[in-house]
Amino acid sequence: MKDPTMPEIVLVNTQIPENLGAVARAMLNFNLKNLRLVSPFFKLSNEKILPLAAGADSIIKNIKEFKSFEDSIKDFNILVATTNRSRAIKQKQISFKDLNNIIYKSSNKVAIIFGPEQSGLKNTHISICDFVLKINTNPNFSSLNLSHAVSIIAYEIMYSRKTEQKNEINAKKLIDIRATKNELMNFLSILIELLDETGFFSVKERKKILIQKIYNIFNKIELTSREVSTLLGIIKSLKKNNEK
């Protein structure tokens, strides 16, 4: 059964089956047990996965698979994207210390997101995330293998967990529980629909970029469920008055 404070790993469009096996092995090494896949480029029955898992079959068997990124993250409160590239979408960059504060000093459900091996996460994925975590590497050779990146992050989480338990800091919850991504995306869907109806996206070529910016703005605000509900009520009221 999942420790309620432990984050889950989400792999988006993983391309190489061996990497999935190696990720499962790394996760079990450091006691992370919940893995989600979004439209991998191979089937989970691929014969190359289990040999690289090296005994971490339980991780593979319990994988949750999704067709879309949005469906895979609906029940999380906080999403942490991993990337080593500079992005047009500027989410708040956090350190490992920040990450562990988020995990151990709140009751938020956290997911750590990894993109495909060749290109990493798209801006559309990052715009939905709350934070970006970057592993410091040689700037002249910064690309990490997917399983190595998972290993480093999983180790940092486990090491911090031992420190938190030793110091008994974990009992104090410092970070408010956020709205789930499902709640936030429902609100944003209604907001974007209303903006579309009122001609906000007058230049069709810029609609996608503007939507990413809107997602980015609201993710930075760190809204609670009650705040999202209030905003939704405001939007519905304004829409109702405009229809009169």
pLDDT digits (tens, 9 = 90+) for 83-112: 876 666 667 899 999 999 999 888 899 999
pLDDT at residue number 244: 60
Cα 110 to chain centroid, rounded:
7
Polymer length of the chain: 244
Beta bridge partners of 171: none
- Rounded to whole angstroms, the Cα distance separating 113 from 132 reads 9
- Tokens 């709205």 -> residue: 179
pLDDT at 170: 44
Question: How far lies 225's CA from each of 69, 220, 232, in Å?
Answer: 21, 15, 10
What Å distances lie between residue 240 and 226, 232, 234, CA to CA?
21, 12, 10
Q: What is the pLDDT of residue 168?
A: 47
Tens of each residue's pLDDT in the chain, 244 residues: 344 468 999 999 999 999 999 999 999 999 999 999 999 999 999 999 999 999 999 999 999 999 999 999 999 999 999 987 666 666 789 999 999 999 988 889 999 999 999 989 998 999 999 999 999 888 888 889 999 999 999 999 988 876 655 454 444 455 678 999 999 999 999 999 999 988 999 888 889 999 999 998 998 888 999 999 999 999 888 877 766 6
Q: Where are the domains of the chain?
A: 8-167, 181-242
Token couple for 170: 């974990």
Q: Tell me the pairing of strands 110-114 and 78-82.
A: parallel
Tokens describing residue 198: 């009122």
Share of the chain above pLDDT 70, in %: 88
Which pLDDT score is estimated for 166?
46
**What confidence score (pLDDT) does residue 148 get?**
96
* Strand locations in 144-241 (E): none
Hunting for tokens 């180790």 — which residue is that? 155
CB-CB contact of 135 with 103 (8 Å)? no
Those residues with Cβ within 8 angstroms of residue 73's Cβ, 6 or more apart along the chain or in another chain? 10, 79, 111, 113, 128, 181
When the pLDDT of each residue in the chain is averaged and rounded to a whole number, the result is 88
User: Given this model, what pLDDT does residue 59 score?
Assistant: 97
* 8-167: CATH, from 3.40.1280.10, 3.30.360.10, 1.10.150.120, 3.10.129.10: 3.40.1280.10
**Tokens encoding 9:** 């790993």
